[in-house]
Amino acid sequence: MNKEIEFLTRLVKIKSVTYNEAEACACFAQVLPSFGWGGIKTDEAGNVIAQRGSGSKEIILLGHIDTVPGGPEARVDGDILWGRGSVDAKGPLCTLAVAGGAVQIPQDWKITLIAAVGEEGDFPGAVHIIPKYSPVGCVIGEPSGTDGLTIGYRGLLHVILHARDDGAHRSRNAGPVTAILLAASDILRLVEAMDKPDRPVIERPSAAIISMTGKEDGARTALIDIDIRLPVGAVIEEYTRMLTEVSDKHHISFEILSSMPAYLVNKNNPVARALRIAVRKAGLSPRIFAKGGSADFNLAAAWNCPIAAYGPGDSKLDHTKDEHVSLGSYMTSISILKDGIEGFMSI
């Protein structure tokens, strides 16, 4: 097993569910020097940061090290690495680390690698680092397939509905649990009514219930956690008004835990173009994606620089019990990304 595959395999075997990433971060930081990285540190949010070069122009390679729970047992079976994070997104993160460590850096450039925490939650790692940097280019580590790159992600509203009272007889007052279910139902219907099924996913809104709780024990309480995905062009304030109207109608409250607009860039921006050229150099035909999820990509919009997301793995396997990646495709992705970064820095 070569050191690139050993690196990824070792990292996938370490559980790093969101907000519990410390062990994986320590492993990641420990291995980075063997791939050419220096200046390695862990910041206040828990992100691992490393650098190469000292020029004034900076490209950032931003991936995330946390995962959702569950997934198959971490194991290698021939060319296949199974395990949570093999696709989303330790495979892409290790691709950033290995490729970025092998790049020949021009004198006026530097590369910064960031393994962010909390991306599967409310993005605390990216929120912490975004204001601290002003790169001229960025690659986000997310699965796109060896021959693919992603230029857009939908936005996000993470909303909590909650209600309570001091108790009443259900025959006279249906109470908070009923009220909050009716409110959630209205929200789901309103979002569905905005949908246009014939449009690309990045142009379509959606909403899903994450969790719900309710209890009647004298006082009555209820809570519903909702994930609303925002299409390109959606105005967050309009969704907030909708939430306010529904909440007022059913006499409940809501809280927005996190929000970000959709972000879609031109497929011909210099980073995306350099990656497409590198894919073709590898003998493959590049594919361009705009995805329905949300990612650190959305927050990196604040940098207003050329950007694309890239990494091995089939994103349809994200968060599933069958998550796995081809180690051959991982190695090919490293070569493609190295060529793409060098191509971008030569422009």
pLDDT in tens, 322-334: 999 999 999 999 9
Tokens 């967050």 map to which residue?
236
Q: Residue 166: which pLDDT band, with cuts at 50, 70 and 90?
A: low
pLDDT of residue 74: 97
Selecting among 4, 66, 147, 339, the annotated active-site residue is 66
The torsion region of residue 244 among left (phi > 0), alpha (psi -120 to 50) and beta comes to alpha
Told to judge if 66 belongs to the known catalytic residues of this protein, a careful annotator would answer yes
Q: Residue 218: which pLDDT band, with cuts at 50, 70 and 90?
A: confident
CATH number, domain 155-260, options 3.20.20.70, 3.40.50.970, 3.50.50.60, 3.30.70.360 = 3.30.70.360
Tell me the per-residue pLDDT of 100-158, one tens digit each, with 9 for 90 and over.
999 999 999 999 999 999 999 999 999 999 999 999 999 999 999 999 999 999 999 99
Selecting among 119, 120, 318, 342, the annotated active-site residue is 119
Percent of the chain with pLDDT over 90: 93
CATH topology of domain 3-153+263-345: Aminopeptidase (3.40.630)
- Number of Cβ within 10 Å of residue 139's Cβ equals 33
Told to judge if 217 belongs to the known catalytic residues of this protein, a careful annotator would answer no
Say whether pLDDT at 220 is over 70.
yes
All structural domains of the chain with their residue ranges: 3-153+263-345, 155-260
Say whether pLDDT at 179 is over 70.
yes
Question: Burial letters for 195-215: b for 16+ Cβ neighbours within 10 Å, e otherwise?
Answer: eeeeeeebbbbbbeeeeeebe
